[in-house]
Amino acid sequence: MKKIILILLSGLSYLNIFSQIDSIPIVKIPNEQYAIYKYDSTLQLDILTYQYNLWDIDNDKHKDEIEFISNGGAHSYYHLRIRLSSKKKWIEFPTFEIDLPYPHKIKNLTELGEMYPQFVVYDFDDDDLKEIYLNLYNLSSIPTGYGLTSKQILIDYEDDKLNVIDFKK
């Protein structure tokens, strides 16, 4: 009888532990107001995606869409894609990966060397148009095919297209 009571009690405390775990608040997603989950049929997972519709990169007075899509891994990193309002077509940058896809506001260029942000939208060349700066996370290699020599890059809209160039101070 004693044994049965003990088993019952331990069962109850087991349940109790679970109800406590249940009540622990889930860790908040950073920059939550820009985050959505999108189902990826290849990975068969809901994938965290950051959607920004805040800046006019192609200077047509309409905001452009900038997305960072998670790889779904334990340490998530996110690749970039952009849809300019003037083009209506997604431009994919599958090899441009960062792990902190949150826009970092800077007041001047020296902050880039002090804070090491990964994603900044700013007018870097004083032409009254904003460029996209990325400090790529890619661990082992610089993405090929763009003529890059650095992981600090600028995506600059010029001559009716997005140009990817090395970031130079």
Name the residues that contact Ca ion, by CB under 5 A: 56, 58, 60, 62, 64, 85, 123, 125, 127, 129
| Residue 101: CB minimum distance to Ca ion, A | 20
Judged by beta carbon, residue 40 or residue 56, the one nearer Ca ion is 56
- Shorter beta-carbon distance to Ca ion: residue 64 or 67: 64
- 100, 79 in Cβ contact below 8 A? no
Q: Which residue's Cβ lies closest to Ca ion?
A: 85
* Whole-angstrom distance, CA of residue 71 vs CA of residue 52: 18
CB closer to Ca ion out of 46 and 158: 158
Give the integer Cα–Cα distance in Å for 21 and 87: 48
Nearest approach, Cβ of residue 24 and Ca ion (Å): 43
Minimum CB distance to Ca ion smaller for 40 or for 65: 65
DSSP calls for 75-107 = S--EEEEEE-TTT-SEEEEEEEEES-------S
